[in-house]
Structure 1
Amino acid sequence: MPLTFTLDPAITPALRDGILDLWTDVSNAGGSVGFVPPVTPDEIRPELVRHFVAMAEGRTRLLVGHDEAGRVAATAFLARNTHRLMTHWLWLYTVMVHPRHQGRGYGRDLLAAAEEAARGLGGIEGIRLTCRGGHGLERFYASCGYKEVGRVPDAIRVGPGDDRDEIVMLLPLR
């Protein structure tokens, strides 16, 4: 059954907790979303609050996917550029699909919903995102139409002696 996507949902305690649980589960499953396992919800909460602040300031939009049981199953944050020369593209951050749903095409569905949302914002000509090397994520994003446009070797330190490339991907919308 497909996910149901909503752009800019009301932030309720249930949604907040659902995103926090999703982020924790994705991180602990080895997902590349800013943390290294093991991680607890209390460690992730401050970063989620920063995302909510950016939303309250109008700089960021939330796209959330719910599964058939109504649980938060996927998220992506769309962040507009504030630099006056770069307002024609946005960043896609914290792209997550719950591990229990992976392998069902929900990642592709999430990226398609993010593209649709970006197109609906008006004036957006591209979506950029970054991903951590070492997981093959760049191949997944490429299969969804994104192109690698930059790579910073060893920019991400996952642990002692475990440095990964930061890969910049772009989806042109023109």
Structure 2
Amino acid sequence: MALVFELDPAVTPELRDGVVALWVDVSNAGGSVGFVPPVAAGDVRPELVKHFVAMAEGRTRLLVGRDEGGAVAATAFITHNTHRLMRHWVWLYTVMVHPRHQGKGYGRDLLAAAEEAAGGLDGIDAIRLTCRGGEGLERFYASCGYKEVGRVPGAIRVAPGEERDDVTMLLPLARRA
């Protein structure tokens, strides 16, 4: 069964707890979403609050995918640029699919839903995201139409002496007629 996606869901305790649980589970499964394991809810909550503040300020939008039981199974945060010369593209942050749902095509579905959401925004021509190198993420994003446009070697330190590249990917959006 496919995930059901919703853009800009109401921020409820259930949603908050669902995103925190997803973020913890993805991080502890080795997902590259800003943490290295082990991660607890208390580690993730402050980062989620930052996203919620940006949402309240109108700078960020949340895309949530729910599974057949209604649980939060995937997320992506779409963030507008504030720089006046870069308002024609958005950032995609915290792209996650729960480990129990990986390998089912839901990551592609999430990116397609994010593309549709961004494409519906006035004046948006592209989506940019960054990913941690050395995890195969560049190949996945490339298979979804993103192109690598930049790389900073060793910019992400996951442990002392263990660095990964910070890879920037871009997806130009098709012009709507």
Shorter chain as denominator, the TM-score bin is over 0.9
Q: Using structure 1 for the length normalisation, give the TM-score.
A: 0.99
SS, match of residue 129 in structure 2:
strand
Q: Are 2:69 and 1:62 equivalent residues in the alignment?
A: no
Alignment pair present for 1:172 and 2:172: yes
Q: TM-score, normalised by structure 2?
A: 0.98
Distance 1:47 1:54 in 2: 11
Residue 19 of structure 2 corresponds to: 19
Counterparts of 2:6 and 2:120, CA distance in 1: 13
* 1:95-143 Cα deviation digits (max 9, x unpaired): 0000000000000000000000001112100000000011010000000
Query: What is the number of residues matched between the two proteins?
Result: 174
SS in 2 for 1:103: coil
Distance in 2, matches of 1:55 and 1:137, equals 26
Q: Give 1:8's aligned amino acid.
A: D
Counterpart-to-counterpart distance in 2, 1:173 and 1:125: 5
- Per-residue deviation, 1:85: 0.4
In 1: Cα distance, 2:129 partner to 2:91 partner: 6
Structure 1 gaps of 5+ residues are: none
User: What is aligned with 1:105?
Assistant: 105
SS in 2 for 1:163: strand
Runs of 4+ deviating beyond 2 Å = none
Residue 137 of structure 2: aligned partner: 137
Matching of residues 11-160 of structure 1 within 5 Å: 11-160=11-160
> Tell me, which stretches of 5 or more residues in structure 2 are unaligned?
none
- In 1: Cα distance, 2:169 partner to 2:150 partner: 7
Following the alignment from structure 1 to structure 2, what is the Cα–Cα distance between the partners of residues 129 and 160? Answer: 25
Structure 1 position 61, deviation (Å): 0.2
Matched AA of 1:41: A
Letter paired with 1:123: G
Give the whole-Å Cα distance in 2 for the aligned partners of 1:83 and 1:113: 25
Q: Distance in 1 between matches of 2:161 and 2:133?
A: 14
How many percent of aligned residue pairs carry the same amino acid?
A: 79
Q: Secondary structure at the match of 2:25?
A: helix
Amino acid at match of 1:83: H
Q: Does 1:4 align with 2:9?
A: no
For the residue of structure 1 that corresponds to 2:171, the secondary structure is strand
